[in-house]
Structures are given as C-alpha cells and as structure tokens.
Amino acid sequence: MANLTEEERRKAEEKERKKAEVRARLEEAARAKKGKKGFMTPERKRKLRTLLRKNAAEAVKREQERRAAERREMLSKRCGQPKNLDGMNADAMKKVCQEYHDRISKLEYNKYDLEYDVRQKDYLINELQVQVSDMRGKFLKPALKKVSKYDAKLEKMAKVAAKADQDFRQNLKRVQSTKFTVDDDKDTKDQPDWAKKGGHKLEVEEAEADE
C-alpha cells in the first residue's frame, strides 16, 4: 500500500512537472508574440493621437489668449485709459481732445519711422539676393520648358503619317504599257506637208529653185 502511494505521488509530481513545462512554453510563446507586435499597439496609437490633438488644441488656445492679452495691453498703453466725459465743460473736453490729437500725431510719426526702416531693410535684402544670384549665376540650372503631352503625341503622329506616305509612294508599281503614250512618227505621217517639222523650210527652198 505504501509502495502504491509512493507510485501515485511520483506520477502526480511528474504530471505537475509536465504541466509546468507546458505552461512555461506557452508563456514564453505569448511574450515572443507580443514582442513582435512592437510597443505601439493600435490602441496605444489611438490614445497617442488623441493626446497629441488635445495638446495641440490647448497650445493654440493658449497662444490666442496670449496674443489677445498683448493686444489689450498695447492698446491700453498707447491709447490710455478712457476718459469719463460725464459732467465735463467745454474747456475740459477741448483739453481731452487735444491730448488725443497729440497722442495720434506721435503715433503717426512713429509709424512713418517704422515704415521707412522696413523699406530700407527690404531694399538691403533685395540687394543681397541680387549679389548672391550674380555670384552663383553660372551654376544655376536653366528653367526647363514645359511641353504638353498632347504636343508630343501630335508630333509623333505627324512623323508616323509622313513615313507611311513615303512608303506608300515607293511601293507603287510603275506602268510599262504604251497604251496611253503618243506615237510621234504616226502623227507626223498623217499630218500634211506644211504641218510637218521643217515643212516651211522645204517650201522656201522649192521657191528659190523655181526662180
């Protein structure tokens, strides 16, 4: 009985060992299969795209808010705080209008200076570009002329038609029949003496002989 129990225990241990080996092989195969797919699974890619879009939208919103704040600050600095015109008399209102006029004149003067500086810098940039183009002009590739594909096809068709016409003319058979030719001797025989070649000369000679 003790031997039977020992045998059963040994078989049970062997069975458990085989199960452990099979489980280990399956886990290793699963890890290898998962490693082949890579770190970026479709689910992770989808989450990453969603996160990037969200961050981009937040960045755009922050940039818009920053620009709006800068604009409000600049307008407040240049235009000053709005004046309260309630209860002002004519002299006080004239003074406020004069202050605004002076401020506008100063801003226009600064605007002219800035525009002049911009024009000068644009001119300088243009001159530098011209110098660079002159320095490496011989290395510039000429602009290629764009040829329409239809023009190329038409030219090819014209060449084929001209070649076919030439081949057709060369292949024509020459007619050796004299059916439609004119027999000069026969025509001369049927003609009167005065119409024959040299007939006038013969008559002149006969007239001279009679004399």
> Stretch 194-198: mean pLDDT, rounded?
54
> Stretch 78-90: mean pLDDT, rounded?
77
Q: Does the structure show a pLDDT above 70 at 50? A: yes
The per-residue pLDDT for 29 is: 81
> Stretch 181-208: mean pLDDT, rounded?
54
pLDDT (tens digit, 9 = 90+) per residue, 144-153? 666 666 677 7
Average pLDDT score, the chain: 76
Q: Does the structure show a pLDDT above 90 at 196? A: no
Q: Does the structure show a pLDDT above 50 at 22? A: yes
Judged by average pLDDT, the poorest of 7-21, 31-45, 120-134, 192-206 is 192-206
Q: Which residue has the higher pLDDT, 156 or 205?
A: 156
pLDDT (tens digit, 9 = 90+) per residue, 98-152? 888 888 888 888 899 999 999 999 999 999 988 888 887 655 566 666 666 667 7
Q: Does the structure show a pLDDT above 50 at 43? A: yes
The per-residue pLDDT for 162 is: 77
> Stretch 46-67: mean pLDDT, rounded?
93
pLDDT band at 190 (very low <50, low <70, confident <90, very high): low
Q: Which of 148, 169, 166 is nearest to 158 (CA)?
A: 166
Q: Does the structure show a pLDDT above 70 at 169? A: no
- Cα 113 from Cα 92, distance rounded (Å): 32
Q: What is the pTM of this model?
A: 0.31
- Cα 131 from Cα 17, distance rounded (Å): 84
**Which helix (H) or strand (E) is 36 found in, with range?**
helix 2-37
> Residue 52: phi, psi to the nearest 5?
-65, -40
- Asked if 174 and 165 touch (Cβ cutoff 8 Å), the reply is no
Q: Does the structure show a pLDDT above 90 at 15? A: no
